[in-house]
């Protein structure tokens, strides 16, 4: 259902998700409560909303907006109403009336194309005229961009973030390479960018699409605990996901490798691919572990003696394998203690803590996974 009108006032707006409640004046003079995730607009704006009426148990009949367009203001009355709302910095109701009385339906064109003519109005200097024009153009640019982005099913909240990042370049980005959003806009992933690209008519075999898909699959692998993938697997999975042959995928993997956005490493005759971020993170972690492993080690004889003393003090009797595990963990700067339930992992850690505290050291325990 289509609903057209002029925004009367904003009742509520959540800046975090753009959820808005506003009153819309319709052509027949009625006031309709409209709700939905809407762009930040001002009273006096002309809009067209698609949606349906709903009956809210608490607030009654409302129009739930699913999509929108921002309509031009063509008549003097609508232009005055918009300007008098305070939407444009530097213009109040009195000044809005003088401007519209002077320029009528030409007001917006004058403000955009001949801003110096605003100084013909009493109370507006040339400097203020330019300032008003700049404020108006900033508002107009935002409105036009949000309406444009809405055509690609981009929510107002996301649309505002995109416009804030690119300003007037937003049109070129969306039409030529919406995959840039993945790197530039927090919260935009490959699937969102790919949907926008499809609506923008980007070719299925676009180099931007293939490259973004390759990096997306590497990112998904990292999130699952694999910092790299065999190149053959990466190629096959990318081609399958995009519905393409392997050849264009191979070309873009080569290109990413040349640009060092993708790093290749051979291990046991298998070529693996990393994203640059994952590769350098792993390399740094490996270097840090190496430095720890070559650091000074504890005296093994002293460690054995202290373990025996702790056993006597606590009444704990370790099996040989557990005693060796404690010794190894203490004598080596980096250790991994594994085992099923009831195999003594906690006992080993407690003995290690007792050893270090007896040496006057502070002990810090951490559970990176959120589980003990």
pLDDT of 280: 96
pLDDT value at residue 124:
93
Residue 177 lies in a domain: yes
Q: Tens-digit pLDDT profile for the chain (372 aa)?
A: 999 999 999 999 998 888 999 999 998 888 999 999 888 888 888 999 999 999 999 999 999 998 888 888 888 998 999 899 888 988 999 999 999 999 999 999 999 999 999 999 998 999 999 999 999 998 888 888 988 898 888 888 888 899 999 999 999 999 999 999 999 999 899 999 999 999 999 999 999 999 999 999 999 999 999 999 999 999 999 999 999 999 999 999 999 999 999 999 999 999 999 999 999 999 999 999 888 887 667 777 888 888 888 888 888 888 888 888 888 888 888 888 888 888 888 888 888 898 888 888 899 988 777 665
Say if residue 217 is in the same domain as residue 276: yes
Instruction: Give the domain-ending residue among 129, 151, 173.
Output: 151
Domain co-membership, 54 together with 121: no
Question: What is residue 370's predicted lDDT score, i.e. its pLDDT?
Answer: 64
pLDDT for 160: 86
pLDDT at 94: 94
Domain boundary among 244, 261, 290: 290
Provide the whole-model pTM: 0.72
**Could you say which of 131, 151, 171 is where a domain stops?**
151
Q: Do 226 and 282 belong together in one domain? A: yes
Query: CATH number of the domain that 114 lies in?
Result: 1.10.150
Three-state DSSP string of the chain: CEEEEEEEEEEEECCCCCEEEEEEEECCCCEEEEEEECCCCCCCCEEEEEEEEEEECCCEEEEEEEEEEEECCCCHHHHHHHHHCCCCCCCCHHHHHHHHHHHHHHHHHHHHHCHHHHHHCCCCCHHHHHHHHHHHHHHHHHHHHHHHHHCCCCCHHHHHHHHHHHHHHHHHHHHHCCCHHHHHCCCCCHHHHHHHHHHCCCCCCCHHHHHHHHHHHHHHHHHCCCCEEEHHHHHHHHHHHHCCCHHHHHHHHHHHHHCCCEEEEEECCEEEEEEHHHHHHHHHHHHHHHHHHCCCCCCHHHHHHHHHHHHHHHCCCCCHHHHHHHHHHHHCCCCCCCCCCCCCHHHHHHHHHHHHHHCCCCCCCCCCCCCC
* 213, 283: one domain: yes
In-domain check, residue 295: no
Residue 13 lies in a domain: no
- Give the domain range for residue 53: 1-6+19-37+46-71
Instruction: Confirm whether 113 is domain-assigned.
Output: yes
pLDDT for residue 296: 67
Asked if 114 and 139 sit in the same domain, the reply is yes
The answer to whether residue 24 is domain-embedded is yes
Residue 371 falls within a domain, yes or no?
Answer: no
Residue 12 lies in a domain: no
**Residue 308, pLDDT score:** 87
Domain count, the chain: 5
């Amino acid at each position: 259902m289509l609903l057209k009108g002029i925004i009367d006032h904003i009742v509520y707006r959540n800046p975090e998700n753009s959820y808005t409640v506003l009153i819309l004046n319709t052509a027949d003079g009625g006031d309709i409560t409209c709700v939905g995730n809407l762009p930040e607009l001002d009273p006096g704006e002309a809009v067209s909303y698609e949606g349906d009426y709903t009956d809210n148990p608490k607030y009654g009949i409302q129009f739930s907006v699913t999509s929108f367009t921002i309509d031009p203001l063509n008549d003097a009355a609508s232009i005055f109403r918009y300007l008098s709302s305070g939407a444009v910095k530097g213009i109040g109701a009195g000044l809005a009336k003088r401007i519209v009385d002077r320029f009528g339906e030409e007001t917006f064109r004058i403000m955009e194309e001949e801003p110096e003519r605003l100084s013909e109005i009493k109370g507006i200097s040339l400097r203020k005229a330019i300032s008003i024009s700049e404020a108006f153009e900033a508002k107009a640019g935002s409105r036009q961009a949000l309406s444009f982005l809405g055509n690609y099913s981009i929510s107002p909240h996301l649309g505002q973030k995109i416009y804030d990042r690119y300003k007037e370049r937003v049109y070129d980005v969306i039409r030529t390479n919406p995959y840039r959003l993945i790197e530039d806009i927090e919260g935009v992933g490959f699937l969102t960018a790919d949907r926008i690209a499809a609506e923008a008519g980007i070719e299925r075999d676009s180099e931007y699409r293939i490259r973004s898909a390759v990096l997306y699959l590497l990112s998904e692998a990292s999130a699952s605990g694999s910092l790299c993938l065999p190149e053959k697997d990466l190629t096959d999975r990318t081609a399958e996901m995009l519905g393409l042959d392997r050849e264009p995928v191979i070309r873009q993997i080569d290109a990413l490798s040349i640009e060092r956005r993708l790093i290749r490493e051979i291990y046991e005759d298998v070529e693996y691919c990393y994203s640059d971020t994952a590769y350098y993170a792993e390399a740094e972690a490996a270097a840090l572990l190496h430095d720890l492993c070559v650091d000074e080690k504890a005296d093994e004889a002293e460690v054995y003696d202290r373990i025996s003393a702790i056993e006597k003090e606590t009444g704990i009797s370790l099996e040989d394998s557990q005693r060796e595990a404690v010794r190894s963990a203490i004598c080596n700067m980096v250790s991994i203690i594994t085992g099923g339930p009831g195999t003594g992992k906690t006992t080993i850690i407690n003995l290690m803590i007792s050893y270090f505290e007896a040496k006057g050291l502070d002990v810090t325990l951490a559970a990176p996974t959120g589980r003990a």
